Amino acid sequence: MKAFEKYTLKDMEIKNRIVMPPMCMYSSDNTGTVQEFHKMHYGARAIGGTGLIIQEATAVEPRGRISDRDLGLWSDDHIEGMKNLVQNIKGYGAKAGIQLAHAGRKSESRSAIPVAPSPIPFSDDYRIPHELDLEEIKKIAEKFKEAAKRALLAGYDLVEIHAAHGYLIHEFLSPITNKRTDEYGGSLQNRTRFLKEVIQAVKEVWPDDKPLTIRVSATDYLPGGIDGDEIVRIVNEVKDRLDMIHVSSGAIAPAEMNLYPGYQVQYAEKIKKECDIPTIAVGLIKDFDQVEEILRNGRADLVALGREILRNPNWVLSNMNNQNIETKYPDQYFRAFK
């Protein structure tokens, strides 16, 4: 079964093709530190057989949090908790990734006024963001670099840069939210400049033999925004410094979306084929047969199961058992798989 084959990316060998994607748990406190819940939450998915676990959006600075209960990696004080979390994940056979993020204008943290490429709020329910000046943009790229260095010290196998879902990097990429007239706005090359600078900054501290990925929104679902063809052009601008693209969609601004199991797979397939780079497919996927179809037809290299792995931490072990595939089940749970 393709879903349970090993997969190698740089120095990282994953025991199967199943990924737990980043999903915010809003379970820290104002310090942004790892709590007992996080150890149990991620540990349970590692015990359940998930090959790669990518930790929830982890803020590179306090004002970059989505909420005041997000995890953070803006301080050396965070390293020890992250190190314990990584050991917990890897101790049960999964690989540990972390998504480094900045919420931009969608931050609901009360630590500071949110920031963005242009002073346009997400909706009437959000605050008007502060428009970043050139020096501030450079400083945020450095924040990503510092967070990546801490991620390395904590022992993560993979870093994912969050450039999707309407958060700061996506805000620079999309014409809907980027109305700048300087070198960060207008042309596609200008709108990708901040992403390139963040990637370059992270690459200065993240080893070449460890995977570096980005999460993208392949379409904004709005006129004048990013669409499937433009995301290909964006990925082609940056792919030479990356190892894989995690493909999502939407959330730059309120929009109508037609949701169904696998609704985003078409974009992972398009990027994989037209940009010639490995991809992760995600989007309400839950059935084993659908996972197999995606992988066997070469539509993506890995498949992420978000809500389904929240519902069933043992998705991998359960489906291996259902398919009569021999594996070493946790000794404590052997009765469940006889």
All structural domains of the chain with their residue ranges: 2-337
* Tens digits of pLDDT across the chain (338 residues): 999 999 999 999 999 999 999 999 999 999 999 999 999 999 999 999 999 999 999 999 999 999 999 999 999 999 999 999 999 999 999 999 999 999 999 999 998 999 999 999 999 999 999 999 999 999 999 999 999 999 999 999 999 999 999 999 999 999 999 999 999 999 999 999 999 999 999 999 999 999 999 999 999 999 999 999 999 999 999 999 999 999 999 999 999 999 999 999 999 999 999 999 999 999 999 999 999 999 999 999 999 999 999 999 999 999 999 998 888 778 888 787 76
pLDDT of residue 335: 82
Q: How many CB atoms lie within 10 A of CB 244?
A: 22
Q: In whole angstroms, give the CA distance from residue 114 to residue 129.
A: 5
- The tokens describing 243, both together, are 């190892």
Q: In whole angstroms, give the CA distance from residue 213 to residue 271.
A: 14
Write down the residue that tokens 């021999």 correspond to: 326
- The closest of 286, 242, 249, 292 to 270, measured between CA atoms, is 249
SS3 159: strand
Fold adopted by 2-337: TIM Barrel (3.20.20)
The pTM score is: 0.97
- Identify the DSSP state of 329: -
pLDDT of residue 329: 79
The torsion angles phi and psi of 130, rounded to 5 degrees, stand at -80, 130
- The closest of 316, 269, 273, 285 to 92, measured between CA atoms, is 316
